[in-house]
């Protein structure tokens, strides 16, 4: 036992001390947070200024101007120039305008407009232009139909649809929860692969360095194999732990320091817009705020985090132990990396398949396939995460317990099988191993 501890210690320390580990562990969360922030930043701060030539072909009004002339509100990013005469594409190309908005004569009855561009404007700019045109058309229609704007505003209805689960009366959308589960499933999938392959490489390294026989003259091959698997698992858990701590810190900093500042800028901008009108735009903002609120509520309250993390660690360890021992067996059976291919395939397929089923579970969580593959130990660590995130009612908790029990049995079987292949394989040099050969090894006596 003491010797296994020594092996675990070496496997752990030799990996944790590696530069690549330290870099990945520290940079991982920063990278993810950075990408996230970059996305938000890019989305919020499209700093291009668009000069829009508005070609208004609508008939002249009694007042002498056309319908859209000087009707659009300019922002710091979108500037309008009005004309009644369109430019040809060639003329537009050599003009100073970025975008040409062509408003047809009969646009009020057939609401369709052309946006000619040299460089496609950002989504934000396009939707701004669209809403400006819509506003003018709506106002025109109100006038034509002699409807008072306040009456119109009071008629406009925005329905909020609240979904309530009949079983427990909570407002819930399982689909959204499933997405959180799916993220966990991706994590498990990634970690099993990442660390499983590390185990395989470690075994191959010992074999090709010819150190393995020296070591198994002191310890049992099984101790060496388990020491490596457990040592690498601890490396994985360390990385996860550091990531959780780091992410928590980053999120806290982000939400207490940076986010309020951004909000300030945002609300200031909104106030400028709101001054003059429009019930519509505020209601849109309210909608998007409600959406953000939904996500926050989902992430913070609807997911049972202690349960989720507990289950995550269980399935991560179970799935990892199962796959890592198979990877160890592959590492022991081959002499070099190129020979691993033929044995990697049957291990990789269930793993990838589990991932596909988990994706499928997002759309149809109650499906038969999802049930079965959440029981099979080779796929359950990935598929079950999606189901756990959606929650189990009392009647189907047995499914979770059965799946966990099967996973334990599964990894015990895998460890047993791998141990048999491992102890023969590590002493076998310069031989191209076939499945038939592996089958023979299983029957060798210790």
Partner 1 sequence: MDILKVENITKTYAGHDALTDVSFDVPKGSIFGLLGPNGAGKTSLIRIINQITGADSGQILFNGEPLSPKHIARIGYLPEERGLYKKMKVGEQALYLAMLKGMSKAEAKAKLAEWFKRFDVESWWDKKVEELSKGMAQKIQFITTVMHAPEFIILDEPFSGFDPINTNLVKGEIMRLAENGTTIMLSTHNMGSVEEICTHIALINNSKKVLEGPVAEVKEKFKEGVYDLEFKGEMLAFTNALWVNFELISHKVIGDKVAIARIRLLNGATVNDLLKVLIHFH
Residues lying near partner 1 in the complex (CB under 8 A) are found at 3, 6-7, 10, 14, 205-206, 209-211, 213-219, 221, 427, 429, 440, 443-446
Q: Which helix (H) or strand (E) holds 101?
A: strand 99-103
| Cβ closest to partner 1, residue 300 vs residue 446 | 446
| Cβ closest to partner 1, residue 20 vs residue 275 | 20
3-state secondary structure at position 182: helix
| Shortest reach from residue 27's CB to partner 1, in Å | 22
| Shortest reach from residue 446's CB to partner 1, in Å | 5
| Shortest reach from residue 426's CB to partner 1, in Å | 10
| Cβ closest to partner 1, residue 10 vs residue 73 | 10
3-state secondary structure at position 50: strand
Residue 80: phi and psi, rounded to 5, are -115, 140
Measured CA to CA, the distance from residue 322 to residue 269 in angstroms comes to 55
| Shortest reach from residue 285's CB to partner 1, in Å | 57
| Cβ closest to partner 1, residue 55 vs residue 418 | 418
Q: CB-based burial of residue 220 (10 Å sphere; 0-12 exposed, 13-18 middle, 19+ buried)?
A: middle
Measured CA to CA, the distance from residue 392 to residue 400 in angstroms comes to 8
Q: Give the position of tokens 């091959």.
A: 221
- Overall residue count recorded for the chain in this entry: 446
| Shortest reach from residue 326's CB to partner 1, in Å | 23
Buried b (16+ CB within 10 A) or exposed e, 68-102: bbebbeebeebebebeeebbeeeebeeeebbbbbb
| Cβ closest to partner 1, residue 202 vs residue 350 | 202
Measured CA to CA, the distance from residue 27 to residue 23 in angstroms comes to 6
| Shortest reach from residue 16's CB to partner 1, in Å | 13
3-state secondary structure at position 97: coil
| Cβ closest to partner 1, residue 9 vs residue 60 | 9
């Amino acid at each position: 036992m003491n010797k296994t501890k020594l092996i675990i210690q070496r496997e752990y320390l030799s990996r944790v001390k590696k530069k690549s580990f330290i870099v990945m562990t520290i940079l991982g969360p920063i990278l993810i947070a950075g990408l996230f922030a970059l996305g938000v930043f890019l989305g919020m701060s499209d700093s291009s200024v668009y000069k829009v030539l508005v070609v208004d072909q609508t008939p002249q009004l009694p007042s002498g101007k056309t319908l859209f002339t000087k009707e659009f509100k300019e922002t710091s990013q979108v500037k309008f120039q009005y004309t009644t005469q369109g430019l040809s594409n060639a003329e537009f190309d050599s003009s100073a305008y970025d975008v040409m908005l062509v408003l047809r004569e009969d646009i009020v009855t057939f609401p369709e407009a052309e946006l000619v561009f040299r460089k496609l404007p950002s989504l934000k700019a396009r939707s701004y232009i669209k809403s400006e045109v819509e506003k003018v058309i709506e106002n025109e229609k109100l006038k034509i139909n002699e409807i008072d704007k306040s009456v119109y505003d009071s008629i406009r209805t925005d329905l909020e649809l609240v979904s309530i689960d009949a079983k427990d009366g909570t407002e819930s959308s399982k689909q959204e929860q499933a997405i959180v589960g799916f993220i966990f499933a991706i994590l498990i999938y990634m970690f099993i692969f990442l660390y499983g392959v590390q185990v395989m490489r470690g075994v191959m390294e010992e074999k090709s360095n010819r150190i393995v026989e020296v070591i198994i003259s002191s310890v049992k091959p099984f101790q060496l194999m388990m020491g490596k698997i457990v040592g690498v698992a601890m490396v994985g858990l360390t990385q996860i732990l550091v990531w959780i701590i780091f992410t928590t810190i980053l999120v806290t900093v982000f939400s207490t320091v940076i986010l309020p500042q951004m909000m300030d800028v945002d609300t200031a901008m909104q106030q400028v817009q709101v001054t003059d009108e429009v019930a519509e735009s505020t209601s849109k903002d309210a909608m998007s705020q409600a959406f953000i609120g939904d996500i926050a509520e989902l992430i913070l309250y609807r997911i049972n985090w202690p349960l989720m993390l507990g289950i995550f660690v269980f399935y991560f360890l179970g799935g990892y132990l199962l796959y890592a021992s198979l990877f160890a067996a592959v590492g022991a059976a081959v002499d070099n990396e190129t020979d691993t291919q033929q044995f990697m395939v049957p291990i990789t397929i269930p793993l990838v398949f589990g991932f596909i089923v988990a994706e499928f579970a997002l759309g149809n969580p109650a499906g038969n396939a999802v049930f079965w593959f959440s029981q099979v130990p080779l796929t359950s660590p990935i598929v079950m995460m999606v189901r756990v995130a959606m929650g189990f009612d009392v009647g189907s908790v047995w499914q979770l317990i059965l799946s966990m029990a099967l996973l334990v049995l599964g990894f015990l079987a895998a460890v047993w099988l791998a141990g048999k292949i491992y102890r023969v394989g590590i002493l076998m040099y310069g031989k191209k191993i076939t499945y038939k050969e592996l089958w023979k090894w299983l029957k060798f006596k210790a």
